[in-house]
Amino acid sequence: MDPVTASYYRSILYHDGQDQRPVPPTLAKLHAWTFKRFQAMGAGGIISKQAALSVALMWMSMTSEGRAFARENTTIGELFCPYDETTDELTSNENLIDWDAVPLESKVLVVVDQKPTVGEYIGRQSSWIKVLVNGERKSFRSHQVQLAGA
């Protein structure tokens, strides 16, 4: 990887293009594949800043190493769907529960930081699930909420 492209990735990952930490190996592998595809398509041998950002976001969302890096080092890490390495599957409940069909005031389990809390389902707004927890209205991502007893 050329130094200019490496500085793009370091700027994205570490907020400093001059940082000397290495680019993670799986990101470098994804970059190499992207670089070869650019050349095969006749797009040249230069990865733009926009392409580097796309590759880094894809790495953070699609690999376990990238998701772990995003959770630990970025402010957007919690947006990426958690990945269960034991089953090799995404653990999102978004496609499993039809929240529009769930009756209001149904008991739900909210799992944040591995600590389950019981609450009542009070609605949905976009991709956020509204839950009443200890008398307080809170919003959670759908992968953090499951039906109690399910």
**DSSP states of 108-145:** EEEEETTEEEEEEEEEEETTEEEEEETTEEEEEEGGGE
Render pLDDT for 110-122 as a digit per residue (tens, 0 to 9).
877 767 888 998 9
Contact 47, 34 (CB under 8 A): yes
Total domain count, the chain: 2
Domain membership of residue 86 (yes or no) is no
Query: Is pLDDT at 87 greater than 50 in this prediction?
Result: no
**Of 10-14, 69-73, 87-91, 105-109, where does the model show the most confidence?**
10-14
Least confident of 45-54, 65-74, 86-95, 123-132: 86-95
Is 87 a member of any domain?
A: no
Give the model's confidence band at 81: pLDDT under 50 very low, under 70 low, under 90 confident, else very high. Answer: low
Among 150, 111, 117, residue whose Cα is nearest residue 136: 117
Provide the residue range defining the domain that includes 96: 92-147
Looking at 38, 62, 81, which one is the last position of a domain?
A: 81
Q: Are 65 and 96 part of one and the same domain?
A: no
- Which residue among 24, 57, 81 closes a domain? 81
Give the end of a domain, one of 47, 81, 115.
81
Q: What pairs with residue 110 in β-bridges?
A: 117, 145
Domain assignment present for 59: yes
- Average confidence score pLDDT of the chain: 81
| Closest to 73 (Cα-Cα) out of 59, 86, 93 | 59
100 shares its domain with 72: no
46 and 98 share one domain? no
Query: Do residue 7 and residue 77 come from a single domain?
Result: yes
Domain assignment of residue 135, yes or no? yes
